[in-house]
Amino acid sequence: MTNRSFTALQAAAAQVQDLAAAMSLLSWDQETYMPAGAIEARAGQLATLSGIHHRMLATELMPLAEALLQESGLSETERLNVEQLHRQLTRTLKLPEDLVQSLAAATAQAQHAWEQARAANSFAQFAPHLQHILELKQQEAECYGYAAERYDALLDAYEPGMTAAQLDVLFGDLQTALVPFLQKVQGCTQVDDSFLYQAIPQDAQWAFGLELLDKLGYDRKHGRQDISAHPFSIGIHPTDVRITTVVKEKDLTAMVYSTIHEFGHAYYELGLPAAFRGLPQGEACSLSIHESQSRIWENNLGRSLPFVQHWHRRMAGLYPDGLAGKDATQVFRALNRIAPSPIRIYADEVTYHLHIILRYRLERQLVAGTLAVADLPEAWNSTLKELLGIVPASDAEGVLQDVHWSIGALGYFPTYSLGSLYAAQFWAHASQAMPALEADIAAGNYEGFRQWLRTHIHSQGRLYDSETLCRRVTGEGLNAEYFLSYIERKFATVYDYPL
């Protein structure tokens, strides 16, 4: 039986979430359809609503959460919700309302400036906005407090409990394993993927993207897809989750894998328990678990041989030359070609992590104040050359390629690598639990996999931190060996080397 006070908390949390949903909708509109001349007004609207939202957390939710902490009649699920909510509120309310509003306005303006700077290939246009955001985020970190360094305070927003010291060990081990693996692959006979890059009309690509979404299980009665400068997903409500993608005329794969990636995010949001909207159980566990859901669909499933076998004929029909008689295995190999690229979102599964290590290093230095914003392009280029042996041809291809810093998401990037590691671990256990999984994927049947994710991950919301959830799903904490074993086996097929 639900505690009456907990019912009151649920109702208040849903109201606060309604306001957050309105802000999300304004943000989605800004990135898709908002006229450029409206940016100043939109920044003001988001600042106003952010202030009201922050006030509601303090006056509406915190008193109810504090009172419920003293009650003894809560169920286990209710208690976990209250404890997690109280932790979140305690942290969030360390920020003064004027800082919250300043960040909302600054990021709205900076995102617009980033889009313009990227189009103009000019970091100098974006630099003043990044400097302002950096100063505000440094203030935010000081408000939160930290034991070792500022960056930990910002990282905690995306991956609670994680620290830079822990990432140094994890990323150090990952780099140590991946660099020789990359060298081994580069010593093999290289895969030809040139046949993938042919001109395909935007309308045909767009129709195929929607077909993919329908088959994967995206309920378009409760979601939609649009185009934006940088693909993203955004949850408005458990019945309304939007995604965007990119369409490049001579690169069908950009649309395909951006679409599948964002579907993974959206499917997670649509599967969170609606009855707990606004409470931890109705929210995603963390950004690393969120990224595990996008990466598991994009890579573990979407770049698998069974997936390609199912979609091979349909994809070939889009190409002017019908893929020139390339069979499914040849297409699978081409889609998984390992080759250093300056662009993160189009990177292969191996070099992708080196892109994340680059961003982690640089944003950590920015937050610490040991790297000046003005020196960022040079630092970006030199670090990319160190890690991948390449240098971007332009700011747009380099330091301006990601939207994250413009929206104030310093501390977010590490969750991409963490998400890929969690995805490999979840994939291994899902495959063990469903021996027919590969056959189902080859047949275009994803229902069993969808239900496995719903049961083991989505339904848990944010009742547990990432590490605890992982232990509940797989029986152990995060273990990078699952990812390393996965790529060793997979790329043995792609590059024909002995295991």
Q: Would the pLDDT of 200 be above 60?
A: yes
Confidence of residue 3 (pLDDT cuts 50, 70, 90): confident
Q: What tens digit of pLDDT does each residue of 402-420 get? A: 999 999 999 999 999 999 9
Indicate the helix (H) or strand (E) that contains 237.
Answer: strand 233-237
Q: Does the annotation count 262 as an active-site position? A: yes
Q: What per-residue confidence (pLDDT) applies to 496?
A: 93
Average pLDDT for 440-467: 97
Residues written for the chain: 499
Helix ranges (DSSP H) in 33-122: 39-56, 62-69, 76-92, 97-120
Closest CA to 208 of 141, 273, 257, 158: 257
Task: Write the CA distances from 61 to 53, 93, 97, 136, 358, integer angstroms.
Answer: 11, 11, 16, 26, 39
Q: What tens digit of pLDDT does each residue of 237-263 get? A: 999 999 999 999 999 999 999 999 999
Q: What per-residue confidence (pLDDT) applies to 72?
A: 87
Look over the chain and give the mean of its residue pLDDT values, rounded to a whole number. 96
Name the E strands within 146-230. Answer: 223-227
Is-contact 263 213, C-beta < 8 A? Answer: yes
Catalytic residue among 78, 262, 269, 298: 262
The predicted model scores a pTM of: 0.95
Average pLDDT for 231-236: 94
Q: What tens digit of pLDDT does each residue of 115-172 get? A: 999 999 999 999 999 999 999 999 999 999 999 999 999 999 999 999 999 999 999 9
Q: What tens digit of pLDDT does each residue of 460-480 get? A: 999 999 999 999 999 999 999
Confidence of residue 2 (pLDDT cuts 50, 70, 90): low
Higher per-residue pLDDT: 499 or 430: 430
Task: Write the CA distances from 302 to 48, 249, 255, 401, integer angstroms.
Answer: 41, 21, 13, 24
Q: What tens digit of pLDDT does each residue of 373-389 get? A: 999 999 999 999 999 99
Q: Tokens representing 59?
A: 């006056």
Q: Tokens representing 157?
A: 């927003």
